């Protein structure tokens, strides 16, 4: 096998994962900006912007109410003097201080933290600096591109190239049949071969084919190689290709 002449071929993209991760980041940005606005309202008299460091702070805080009150104390001059003088404990100072109503901000932060835990986004939020630009949270094009690249799969050697070509040819044959009015999906194919193929919507509906199909509003199925077709180490197709094809 001549590795020097090997050219990786695009297998496909995991659009489901791309969409899920993109949606999560868009929601995170939306929620962070919403929290930032409420934060600004609550701490308007102080210069306490809602920055990535604050995001990290709320993510690890066990008591959001206590955190917000502590931030208020640290930024209110008279209270800050008392807190740093050690003449009164922070917990006692919190008990006797008349604070603004933090409930709205606290509840919004708690809801965000619950969502972060549910979606397992905490590990991804270590990129928080990337989405903070000019004093607000954004979803930059560079991150969108990176997400797509992370879920795009290419062949790794000539054996995979040869196997991919077989799958592409099978997809093309069934797609031509479907364009005549057929209705073959990847689930109709025998395993394990059907596992190497996935089905997406074609460009036309059955009605546009004038095939007389009763379900004319449905899109004609289009078969394409599955993005993860070579993920498994035990791959029947690769074994067959490796054993029977001479690859220069």
User: What is the structure's pLDDT at 234?
Assistant: 81
Q: Are residues 101 and 190 in the same domain?
A: no
Percent of the chain residues topping a pLDDT of 70: 94
The number of domains in the chain is 2
Confirm if 106 and 65 have CB atoms less than 8 A apart: yes
Q: Are residues 116 and 159 in the same domain?
A: no
Q: What is the pLDDT of residues 99-127, one digit of tens each?
A: 999 999 999 999 999 999 999 998 888 88
Three-state DSSP at 174 gives helix
Supply the mean pLDDT for the chain. Answer: 90
Range of the domain at 45: 11-150
Q: Is residue 6 part of a domain?
A: no
Closest CA to 100 of 59, 69, 75, 122: 69
Given 150, 180, 210, the domain boundary residue is: 150
DSSP code, position 190: P
Q: Is residue 3 part of a domain?
A: no
What are residue 201's DSSP bridge partners? Answer: 221
C-alpha to C-alpha distance for 131 and 138, rounded to whole angstroms: 5
Helix spans in the chain (H): 15-42, 52-60, 64-75, 77-85, 90-96, 103-119, 141-150, 158-179, 236-244
Q: Is residue 175 part of a domain?
A: yes
Q: How confident is the model at residue 3 (pLDDT cuts 50, 70, 90)?
A: low
For 221, phi then psi, to 5°, come to -65, 145
- Tell me the whole-structure pTM to 2 decimals: 0.82
Q: Are residues 17 and 117 in the same domain?
A: yes
For 200, phi then psi, to 5°, come to -125, 175
Closest CA to 205 of 178, 225, 224: 178
Q: Is residue 2 part of a domain?
A: no
Q: Are residues 139 and 30 in the same domain?
A: yes
pLDDT tops 90 at residue 27: yes
Question: How far out from the chain centre does Cα 246 lie?
Answer: 40
Q: What is the pLDDT of residues 198-216, one digit of tens each?
A: 999 888 877 777 655 556 6
C-alpha to C-alpha distance for 66 and 82, rounded to whole angstroms: 17
Task: Sort strands 152-154 and 136-137 into parallel, antiparallel or unpaired.
Answer: unpaired
For residue 220, the surrounding DSSP H or E stretch is strand 219-225
pLDDT average, residue stretch 158-170 = 96
Given 96, 115, 150, the domain boundary residue is: 150
Q: Which residues fall within 8 angstroms of residue 154, CB to CB, at 6 or more apart?
A: 8, 9, 10, 11
Q: Is residue 5 part of a domain?
A: no
Q: Are residues 110 and 175 in the same domain?
A: no
Q: Are residues 159 and 142 in the same domain?
A: no
What are residue 12's DSSP bridge partners? Answer: 153
Q: Is residue 4 part of a domain?
A: no
Q: Is residue 168 part of a domain?
A: yes
C-alpha to C-alpha distance for 50 and 99, rounded to whole angstroms: 19
């Amino acid at each position: 096998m001549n590795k020097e002449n090997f050219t990786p071929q695009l297998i496909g993209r995991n659009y489901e994962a791309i969409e899920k991760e993109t949606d999560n980041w868009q929601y995170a940005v939306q929620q962070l900006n919403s929290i930032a606005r409420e934060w600004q309202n609550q701490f308007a008299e102080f210069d306490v912007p809602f920055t990535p460091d604050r995001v990290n702070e709320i993510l690890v805080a066990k008591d959001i109410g206590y955190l917000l009150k502590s931030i208020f104390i640290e930024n209110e001059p008279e209270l800050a003097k008392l807190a740093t003088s050690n003449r009164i404990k922070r917990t006692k100072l919190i008990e006797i201080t008349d604070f603004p109503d933090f409930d709205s901000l606290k509840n919004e932060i708690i809801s965000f933290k619950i969502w972060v835990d549910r979606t397992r986004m905490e590990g991804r939020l270590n990129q928080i600096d990337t989405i903070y630009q000019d004093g607000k949270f954004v979803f930059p094009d560079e991150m969108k591109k990176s997400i797509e690249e992370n879920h795009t799969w290419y062949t790794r050697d000539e054996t995979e190239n040869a196997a991919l070509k077989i799958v592409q040819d099978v997809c093309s044959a069934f797609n031509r049949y479907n364009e005549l009015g057929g209705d073959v999906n990847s689930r109709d194919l025998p395993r394990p071969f059907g596992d190497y193929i996935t089905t997406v919507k074609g460009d036309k509906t059955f009605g546009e084919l004038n095939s007389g199909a009763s379900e004319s509003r449905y899109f004609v199925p289009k078969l394409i190689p599955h993005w993860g077709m070579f993920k498994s180490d035990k791959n029947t197709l690769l074994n067959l290709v490796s054993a029977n094809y001479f690859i220069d």
